[in-house]
Copies of this chain bind each other. A is one copy, B any other.
Amino acid sequence: MAIRSDGVLKHDRLLHVAMEVFAKKGFHDATVAEICEAAEANIAAVNYHFGGKEQLYAEVWALAFADAHRTYPVDGGLPATAPATQRLRAVIHSLLSRILRHGPHSHAGLILLQEMARPVEGIRQVRRQAIALVRKHLELTVRELLGPKVSDQSVRLCVMSVVNQCLTIGFRGGQKPPSLGEGPFTEQEIDELIEHVHRFSLGGIRAVRRQETALCGAT
C-alpha cells in the first residue's frame, strides 16, 4: 500500500510550523504541544511523523539551512574574482539578512542563534558543518583583505570580529535593541546596518593589517 497523501501533507505542515516556532523560541522553549496546535495536528503527530522532538528539530535544521543558502548565499551571487571588499559586504549582507529579514525562508539565522545560546546535543555535527561553510568563505575574503603577510591567528580573530558583530544584532529575534529604538528593523535600517558593519569591519581589518605588516617590516 502506498503512502497516503494527507500524511505527507501533515508531515510538511509540521515541518514548516516547527521551523517558525523553533526560530522564535528555540528548541528547549518550544513545546511539541504548541507546534502541533499551530499545525492543527494532534499531540502525537510529532512522534508519529518524526519519531520525537529532537528528530523533528534535526529535519527543521537541515531544511532551514538549505533555504537560507538558497535565499541568501554567502557569496551574494558574486564571482570569486570580485573585489574582496565587495565580497565582504556580501557576506555581511547574507548574515544579517538571514537573521533580520523575516520572510518564509529566513528562519535559519534565528535557529542558529538559538543554538549558539543553548546548543542541542545531538546536532553538533550538523551545526558545525553549517557554521564551517560560512566561516570558510569569510576566512578567504578576510585573508585577501589582510594581505599575505598576516598570521592565521589574526585572520581568525578578524573573522570573529565580523561574525560577532552580525550575530549579536539578531539576539532579540529581529527586534531592535532598546538603544536603537523599538520594534523590528525596517528594510532601510537593515541596509544602514549592513553599511555600518561593512565600513566598521573594513576599518578594523585595515588597522590589523597595518599593524602586522609594520611589525614584519621592522623585523
Contact = CB atoms under 8 A, between A and B. Distances in A.
A147 interface: no
A177 interface: yes
A149 interface: no
Interface in A100-131: 116-118, 128
A160 B169 contact: yes
A95 interface: no
A156 interface: yes
A211 B202 CA distance: 12
A70 interface: no
A178 B131 CA distance: 10
Given A135-B179, A160-B177, A169-B164, A206 B208 contact: no
A23 B54 CA distance: 26
Interface in A164-219: 164-165, 167-169, 171, 177-180, 192-193, 196-197, 199-208, 211
Interface of A: 26, 28-29, 116-118, 128, 135, 154, 156-161, 163-165, 167-169, 171, 177-180, 192-193, 196-197, 199-208, 211
Closest CB pairs A-B (n = 9) = A203-B207, A117-B117, A200-B204, A164-B168, A203-B203, A203-B204, A204-B204, A157-B196, A161-B200
